[in-house]
Amino acid sequence: MNIFQTIKQEKGFLAMLSPMEDVTDTVFRQMLCKIGKPDVFFTEFMNVEGYCSVGKDRVDHRIRFKEIERPIVIQLWGNVPENFAKTVREIKELKPDGFDINMGCAVRNVINTGGGSALIKEPELVKEIIKAVKQEAGDIPVSVKTRLGYSTVDTENWIGLLLDQGLDMLTVHGRIAKDSYAIPSRWDEIQKVVRMRDEISPTTLIIGNGDITSSRQGEEYVKTYGADGYMVGRGILNNPWLFSGREDIPEEERFNVLLEHAKLFKGIWGEEKNFRVIKKYIKAYISDFEGANELRQRLMMVNNYDDLKELIVKD
């Protein structure tokens, strides 16, 4: 029994944080460990072609993590089976709790390279990639995160193919690659995936993803649609305390958490990442209290930790 099956058995379901590029880095994950930790973290997705090139040092920061962040799954993307194999062979010494293959990212520059959801159109290549990762991963669980199809919903063929690969876990975003976020996530199709799983690959855990905005909603969806767990993406930036189930976070606590996040960011990344990255978290922390909008606008003008701290303390 792997760690994910154990959590499911003990808790009844799994609550996971979706991998999001330039958002769910080790700093943010460490902050969530303090204010509301999910059952499972995923790293930002790392390109295996980049990792297997002379540019390795420009991509491998995405898979850094601390022990406090476990259980943690390393997510990989690309379209060359040999590069997936080489990458997994080298980084499994980090002893991640799982390897996840991204077959769902719909960002144009990812699709244009043949990665992410572009793989939905390449079933034979998909089989080769999964086989390569499983062979190198050994006893480390292997999973896939994907969508219901590329240009149309193709649950039976596409998801059926993935279930035939004997994955430990399968996360399904209830949209197709061509959908905008204005189109609601199709949880009825995720329910269909669960029924397919029961027939094709009973041991594969099914995680539903799409439009989850609270832990309460996530648990309700798990019960309603029969999934083994839920995954939160954009919702975490509306409420970083989401996995704690807390609401109405005091103003002072919001200030303190933002300052701690910024300080940790500075300590871990230094000059490696531009401090402006912090600005995407400002709206997440500084909200839901009188004067939040005005303060947030001023905070968006700062470019270093000291100025951020001074502005918050003055306020």
- Number of C-beta neighbours around residue 17 at 10 A: 25
Angle between helices 81-91 and 123-137 (to 10 degrees): 20
Angle between helices 251-269 and 305-314 (to 10 degrees): 170
Which three-class secondary structure state does DSSP give residue 46?
A: strand
- Number of C-beta neighbours around residue 274 at 10 A: 10
Whether 3 and 29 have beta carbons less than 8 Å apart is answered as no
Paired residues of 75 in beta bridges:
100
Catalytic residue among 85, 105, 132, 172: 105
Residue 52 annotated in active site: no
Q: Identify which of 313, 188, 192, 301 has the alpha carbon closest to the alpha carbon of residue 258.
A: 313
Whether 118 and 79 have beta carbons less than 8 Å apart is answered as yes
| Radius of gyration of the chain, Cα coordinates, nearest whole angstrom | 20
Which three-class secondary structure state does DSSP give residue 102?
A: strand
- Classify 184 in phi/psi space as left (phi over 0), alpha (psi -120 to 50) or beta: beta
What single letter denotes the amino acid at residue 312? Answer: I
Sequence-separated (6 or more) residues with CB below 8 Å from residue 215: 15, 242, 243, 244, 245
Paired residues of 111 in beta bridges:
none
Residues marked as catalytic: 105
